[in-house]
Amino acid sequence: MTGSNDTVTIAPQVSGEERLQTESRARGVARILVSERRIQDEIAAMAAELDAEYGDDQPLMVGVLTGAVAFMADLMKAMTIPLQIDFMAISSYGAATKSSGVVRILKDLNEEIEGRRLIVVEDIVDSGLTLQYLLEMLKARQPKDIRVVALLKKDKPDAFDVQVDRVGFHIPDEFVIGYGLDYAGQYRNLPYVAVLDPSVYTS
């Protein structure tokens, strides 16, 4: 399985523009970066690849809370093979828009993972610090193998060189919200990925 080179261009669909004007949950959205339709099409492709890769191996999908919830839910429903899910929570940015460089486990897995095939499901890889830390910790528990799927990856030359096997969309290095991603706990329920209006955090 190879990563997509699908670099996002900024082209809001009409339905998205209408939403920005009418929906209160979209207040503060500067522009739509990845539409709902594109997200769902990409997830269908990812799910088919994962189905083919794992067959009857019953992989354990490990979702990284809280941002991966929307992606994980749609991805697992698009998959047709038997699988299990579990979640980890790792500290993120709080209410800031830059990584603090500090990583903490807030919730560990419920399942034992030794000898199992893991699919780590990430919302976004930014600096790669969180993922690097998570993978080190998971590998120490000796799973059979680990595959990392991320919906988004920021184009960031100085990011950690961390394992990401499949990326949905490569995006510019901007702070994004929606489809699970938040700013100060808000915007996770947008069905698309958008750029936050800087006035929201500079005012």
Residues with active-site annotation: 126
- The yes or no reply on residue 63 touching ligand IMP (CB under 6 A) is no
- For the chain, the straight-line distance linking the first and the last C-alpha, in angstroms and rounded, comes to 43
DSSP β-bridge partners for residue 34: 193
Name the segment binding ligand IMP (CB under 6 A); options: 6-14, 18-26, 70-78, 129-137: 129-137
Cβ 56 to ligand IMP shortest distance, Å: 30
Mask for 74-113, x = binds ligand IMP (CB under 6 A): ------------------xx-----x--------------
Bridge pairing between strands 193-196 and 84-90: unpaired
- Taking the least distance from each CB to ligand IMP, the nearer of 54 and 164 is 164
Name the segment binding ligand IMP (CB under 6 A); options: 19-27, 38-46, 70-78, 121-129: 121-129
- The yes or no reply on residue 71 touching ligand IMP (CB under 6 A) is no
Cα R_g (the chain), whole angstroms? 17
- Taking the least distance from each CB to ligand IMP, the nearer of 74 and 122 is 122
Name the segment binding ligand IMP (CB under 6 A); options: 9-17, 47-55, 78-86, 176-184: 176-184
Long-range CB contacts (within 8 A, 24+) of 194-201? 194/26, 194/29, 194/30, 194/31, 194/32, 194/33, 195/29, 195/30, 195/31, 195/33, 196/28, 196/29, 196/30, 196/97, 197/28, 197/29, 197/30, 198/30, 199/28, 200/28, 201/97, 201/175
Name the site residues for ligand IMP (rule: CB under 6 A): 64, 67, 92-93, 99, 122-131, 175-177, 181
